[in-house]
Structure 1
Amino acid sequence: MSDLRAQAEEWLAQDPDPETRAELRAVLDDDQALAERFGARLEFGTAGLRGELGAGPNRMNRVTVMRAAAGLAARLPPGGRVIIGFDARYGSRRFADDTAAVLSGAGLRPEVFADPVPTPVLAHFTRTFDDIVAGVMVTASHNPPRDNGYKVYWADGAQIVPPTDAEISAAIDAVGRVDEVPLGEGWPVHTDTDLYLDAVSSLRLGGDRDISIVYTPMHGVGRDVLLAAFDRAGFPAPIVVPEQGDPDPDFPTVAFPNPEEPGALDLALGLAEARNADLVIANDPDADRCAVAVRAPSGWRALTGDEVGGLLAEHVLRHTTGDDRLVVTTIVSSSLLRSIAAAHRVRFAESLTGFKWIMKAGGAADRPVFGYEEALGYSVGDDRGVLVNDKDGIGAALAVAALAADAKRDGRTLLDLLDAQARKYGLHATSQLSIRVDDLSLIKAAMARLRAAPPRELAGHPVESFDDLARPADGLPPTDGLRFRLAGGSRVVIRPSGTEPKLKCYLEVVLPVGDDITAARAEAATALEALRTALATTLA
């Protein structure tokens, strides 16, 4: 019997799920299928777990989840309270209940939301009570339908960071057979989201409410909570895209349930045009991200995450006070936020990619009021500080609505506000190049090649400085990334994706704006395209 076959037989003996047992039995004589499932395992890191559903340690399934829960339990104080949420993907509710059973059997006090909830609801709840020691959210966010995931939050309501992730991972490795793990039963359930709704609807970020919005939850779980939040905050009810309103784990109307992907907003944009709406807002399936589109002279235009981040930052800073305020963004996001912070005389910090790092930035004397990353993630606050220590697509949607309503009152649009920022701070134009691969070794080879021989110029711009972010710099922990600063203010950051088989390149061009902002935007677009072409050639 081969080693893979032996591992599969051992898995079958402990797997409580008849579906994955049947799947595995069907491929016991298929060495390639076994290698895909047992040749590696999902790594538990700062993003928790995320992967394709199926049997084996390299898939998301009940055995993988129960092992993760047992490892987490080993790292938590006995008797601690743990809140568990889940989205509407396949297997999510079952994974949440399995987690609760394992934690209960380990002497902890789990509680599970009764119905699917947005991720920010879970994150907010986790930080609100002193006796909560951790939170678990079962979600794969905007991944394809075949995936699911498992995110862990610590008592502060932020995602875990090293060394906690490594400690949990080591504890998972020490777990034996899951059919020998003690299981509890009968835990409390939560049936409403009032705690989060009361908090988010009371954000003090502007007073106007005259705005017409088309909204899509992208077949996810954001609709009911967002509509309730808008109602409590006094906004007109957004017009929901009917084809995408109900939770559906198959995501039937989109090729990829991510509002950043081409075509994902088509239904929303069509409805907005038909209803003459002012704005389009979209959440991803677990409602931690927020996308925005506006009417432009040539049709509807989706704003980039950096554009929304800059607009929200100034909106938050206009409605808050105090020189202890802190705004945070990441090394791959636009440098515009640094200039905004300086103009408003507030504190600024830069973090590694991901909200787990954004929420750890700053010091004890800082009061975080806003954080964002270019991948449509925002955490907004008021004078009380940020509401959620993670991405919050619903809070961001409310803030965008308030910002747009204030602009509409003044006879302006979000595009007008973007032009005003460009004139004040210079035009900060950003773009991305993503290279998807089937073989992760190609990404490692590309990063090694760039480290060994960094390019001296890109698109005709000399490289003025090169930072290997794997070496600690600027007070940041080491990460697998490369940063190139180019003559003329351009910048390129290259890093492997943390959740997908991609090499991601983040581009920024900064230009002064004279009398003709249209010409400046055209010049920036040309410069960004030249950088994209040069990078594609360099990485080929």
Structure 2
Amino acid sequence: MQQDIVTRARAWLDEDPDSDTRAELGALIDAGDLDALAERFSGTLQFGTAGLRGELGAGPMRMNRTVVIRAAAGLAAYLKARGQGDGLVVIGYDARYKSTDFALDTAAVMTGAGLRAAVLPRPLPTPVLAFAVRHLGAVAGVEVTASHNPPRDNGYKVYLGDGSQIVPPADGEIAAEIDAVGPLASVPRPGDGWQTLGDDILAAYLERTDAALTAGTPRTARVVHTALHGVGTETFTAAFARAGFPAPVLVPEQAEPDPAFPTVAFPNPEEPGAMDLAFATARRVQPDLIIANDPDADRCAVAVPDPAPGGPGWRMLSGDEVGALLAAHLVAKGATGVLAESIVSSSLLGRIAERAGLGYEETLTGFKWIARVEGLRYGYEEALGYCVDPGGVRDKDGITAALLVAELASGLKAEGRTLTDVLDDLALTHGLHATDQLSVRVKDLSLISDAMRRLREGPPVELAGLRVASAEDLTRGTATLPPTDGLRYRLEGAYEARVIVRPSGTEPKLKCYLEVVVPVASLDELGTARKRGAEVLATLRMDVAEAAGL
């Protein structure tokens, strides 16, 4: 077994086109570091509905130029087998380590396969790429990004010609083509022949973002913005300028792209400490809102002033709160069509849709599913993702969502009201929908499968003093959902509640999504309702963790 790993490593080394990973792998072979080699050669990164995502490094279990070239060759073969061999493939990329190399390798492979390739002019937000696929009539798009993953990671996200991310069976069919790719030398990779797009593609995207707003609405909200060392600053500030908002105040330490992400442990607005510099900037300039994008700017986080004594002066809104605010805003603007969300998001959206007389649909997690809802007008997921203009971007879009939040805040400001006032209104109308999450990051993935097995073999009968009225194993699918690895519990008693447990599709995490609905009869009861909701959620967290053996 050990000699087999060394043999495979040497064969990989012989065809590796990257001097950095050649040096890394050569050093491991020379040192006889069999444990490190086994980590890199114990399998292959699996191409799925999230494309590819993993740690940078040498070998088939890492993200590197060899893996990307083979993925691009498999995608090209898939497109050619479906009669799209002369079609256009648009390629975007973020500012992470190796992103430019992976983008250019993809362009070279597509060109060598006879397709046409067009690369975005520089590192730009993922929604620009998603927009470009449909705007340019491409047969596919590729975005090189690891989104909000740690600095050591990179990824490879694939869109087909409808502008949506791939779903089954396309992911499996592309994976099969990747597996069929021969030696790297057999993959033609010319040194040129692809197109580098100009700034007109960004201008077209910005025109679309501006059109999502209503003409004549107030544009007075003052915003502090952080890009968290990602690629969002340029596009965000241009969008706000075009729409007529005051120039955002940037968090200077995090405004420029930096693949090392030096000021954050994880470049995700949801992670502890990630927003500390934004809070400090806001305390200095006193804006109306803080808005944060993740590194590829497809997610949007919002913070509002919080007068609570002893706190940072600002409160992060949850993804579910922003999701409800945007839904209410679009309904007030006369939206028609279907509102959709993934099953892990708050059930409040369904109540908003019902009251407005709009369609409503639940999907599996991921915008690859939300974007495919027929008649979609708006879709969101609790992990800070919002599809607010599906006619332009069939994916989450942190730039356009930010504009709509600022439009809503500006209109409320003119009335002497705030975003929290709207949240209060929604609680009075529909009940307080309190949500939380238990997220456990692991190094040993077997801990996740052990927890799921434990819950399946011994399902809980009571959580937080509430009776488990139904327990669904989502691997069997439901009347409206295809099979997925997850469990859903509906609870009854003093309150309605819901728990969903699932492995993350992009990170080594087990995620448990919690919701409790507390009735509210008057504004005076809101404080008590929030306290009670928080207490139930805290108990749910403990009980779910115990039931899962975490």
Pairs within 5 Å for 1:381-460: 381=389, 386-460=391-465
Q: Is the 8 A contact 1:379 1:386 kept in 2?
A: no
Q: Offset at 1:204?
A: 2.8
Equivalent residue for 2:482? 477
Matched residue SS, 1:250: coil
Deviations 1:217-264 (A, max 9, x none): 110001001111111111111101000010000001111100000110
Pairs within 5 Å for 1:287-326: 287-298=297-308, 299-322=313-336, 325-326=337-338
Pairs within 5 Å for 1:130-141: 130=137, 132-141=138-147
Equivalent residue for 2:358? 346
Q: Is the 8 A contact 1:81 1:109 kept in 2?
A: yes
Matched residue SS, 2:476: coil
Please give the alpha-carbon distance, in whole angstroms, between the structure 1 residues aligned to 2:367 and 2:516. Answer: 24
Equivalent residue for 1:90? 97
Please give the alpha-carbon distance, in whole angstroms, between the structure 1 residues aligned to 2:4 and 2:43. Answer: 13
Pairs within 5 Å for 1:507-518: 507-515=514-522, 516-518=525-527
Matched residue SS, 1:26: helix
**What amino acid does structure 2 have at the position aligned with 1:241?**
V
Q: Offset at 1:30?
A: 1.1
Please give the alpha-carbon distance, in whole angstroms, between the structure 2 residues aligned to 1:224 and 1:369. Answer: 27
Pairs within 5 Å for 1:136-285: 136-184=142-190, 185-192=192-199, 193-205=202-214, 207-285=217-295
Please give the alpha-carbon distance, in whole angstroms, between the structure 2 residues aligned to 1:297 and 1:26. Answer: 56
**What amino acid does structure 1 have at the position aligned with 2:144?**
V
Please give the alpha-carbon distance, in whole angstroms, between the structure 2 residues aligned to 1:194 and 1:522. Answer: 47
Deviations 1:261-287 (A, max 9, x none): 011011111111110111000000000
Alignment pair present for 1:115 and 2:125: no
Q: Is the 8 A contact 2:452 2:548 kept in 1?
A: no
Q: Is the 8 A contact 1:204 1:319 kept in 2?
A: no
**What amino acid does structure 2 have at the position aligned with 1:437?**
V
Q: Is the 8 A contact 1:472 1:478 kept in 2?
A: yes
Q: Offset at 1:514?
A: 2.5
**What amino acid does structure 2 have at the position aligned with 1:79?**
D
**What amino acid does structure 2 have at the position aligned with 1:4?**
I
Equivalent residue for 1:335? 347
CA-atom RMSD, angstroms? 1.0
Alignment pair present for 1:519 and 2:532: no
Question: Share of identical aligned residues, percent?
Answer: 58
Please give the alpha-carbon distance, in whole angstroms, between the structure 2 residues aligned to 1:528 and 1:386. Answer: 37
Please give the alpha-carbon distance, in whole angstroms, between the structure 2 residues aligned to 1:533 and 1:97. Answer: 48
Please give the alpha-carbon distance, in whole angstroms, between the structure 1 residues aligned to 2:276 and 2:14. Answer: 47
Q: Offset at 1:321?
A: 4.3
Please give the alpha-carbon distance, in whole angstroms, between the structure 2 residues aligned to 1:535 and 1:204. Answer: 42
From 61, 64, 71, the equivalent of 2:64 is 61
Please give the alpha-carbon distance, in whole angstroms, between the structure 2 residues aligned to 1:265 and 1:535. Answer: 28
Please give the alpha-carbon distance, in whole angstroms, between the structure 2 residues aligned to 1:386 and 1:218. Answer: 28
| TM-score (ref. length: structure 2) | 0.95
Q: Is the 8 A contact 1:115 1:191 kept in 2?
A: no
Please give the alpha-carbon distance, in whole angstroms, between the structure 2 residues aligned to 1:219 and 1:75. Answer: 35
Please give the alpha-carbon distance, in whole angstroms, between the structure 2 residues aligned to 1:14 and 1:276. Answer: 56
Deviations 1:321-342 (A, max 9, x none): 44xx111101000000000000
| TM-score (ref. length: structure 1) | 0.97
**What amino acid does structure 2 have at the position aligned with 1:518?**
G
Q: Is the 8 A contact 1:380 1:387 kept in 2?
A: no
Ranges of 4+ aligned residues in structure 1 off by more than 3 Å = none
From 33, 38, 42, the equivalent of 1:39 is 42
User: Bigger CA drift: 528-537 or 440-449?
Assistant: 440-449
Please give the alpha-carbon distance, in whole angstroms, between the structure 1 residues aligned to 2:371 and 2:354. Answer: 20
Equivalent residue for 1:22? 23
Alignment pair present for 1:497 and 2:511: no
Matched residue SS, 1:34: helix
Q: Is the 8 A contact 1:219 1:244 kept in 2?
A: yes
Q: Is the 8 A contact 2:213 2:407 kept in 1?
A: no
Matched residue SS, 2:106: helix
Matched residue SS, 2:496: coil
Please give the alpha-carbon distance, in whole angstroms, between the structure 2 residues aligned to 1:514 and 1:266. Answer: 36
**What amino acid does structure 2 have at the position aligned with 1:320?**
G
Equivalent residue for 1:372? 380
From 464, 467, 488, the equivalent of 2:469 is 464
Q: Offset at 1:320?
A: 2.7
Matched residue SS, 1:327: strand
Q: Offset at 1:191?
A: 2.6
Q: Offset at 1:205?
A: 3.9
Unaligned runs of at least 5 residues, structure 1: none
Q: Is the 8 A contact 1:216 1:283 kept in 2?
A: yes
Please give the alpha-carbon distance, in whole angstroms, between the structure 2 residues aligned to 1:318 and 1:178. Answer: 55
Unaligned runs of at least 5 residues, structure 2: none
Equivalent residue for 2:372? 360
Q: Is the 8 A contact 1:208 1:402 kept in 2?
A: yes
**What amino acid does structure 2 have at the position aligned with 1:331?**
I
